[in-house]
Amino acid sequence: MICYLSLGSNVGDKKQNLAKAMDMLAKLPKTRITKISGFYETEPWGGVEQDSFINNVVEIETGLSPEQLLTECQSVENSLGRKRTVRWGPRTIDIDILTYGDLRLSSEKLIIPHPYLEVREFVLAPLREIAPDFILPSGRPITAVKGEGKVKLLD
């Protein structure tokens, strides 16, 4: 299954946190990373006063179920020191499942596609980079949608 994951960090060595997370994701069972976007500096989203983020998006091919993928992503977050104290607050690493093929799923633990996929520019910009022909869950082409927030592609 082709999936897109969003990664973000705003605590510690942000780029290093993202690199470590991608290394760990690449080692997941039945999973391989097929595309990686550049790094984007982004302003915080969600109204919590905090440092800016660095975000990127990866495309993966996986044989894991959505629930297994969520468990593995949370394991990577925990291994890298993720603390869940403030919603949308500072974090060493955040990994969100944006899409899982064309699947639509809404459970207590997981919603796919990600409910904020089409409103967050820090997700749309890197996704647009690696999947310029992507059709969003709303049916609109990704190139026709601009989300909220300022983003800057880093060198």
Which residues belong to the active site? 82, 91, 94, 96
Q: Residue 133 corresponds to which amino acid? A: D
Distances 43 to 8, 52, 66, 89, 115 between C-alpha atoms, Å: 11, 5, 29, 12, 19
User: Are 132 and 143 a contacting pair, CB within 8 Å?
Assistant: yes
Strand 31-36 to strand 53-62: parallel, antiparallel, or no bridges (unpaired)?
Answer: antiparallel
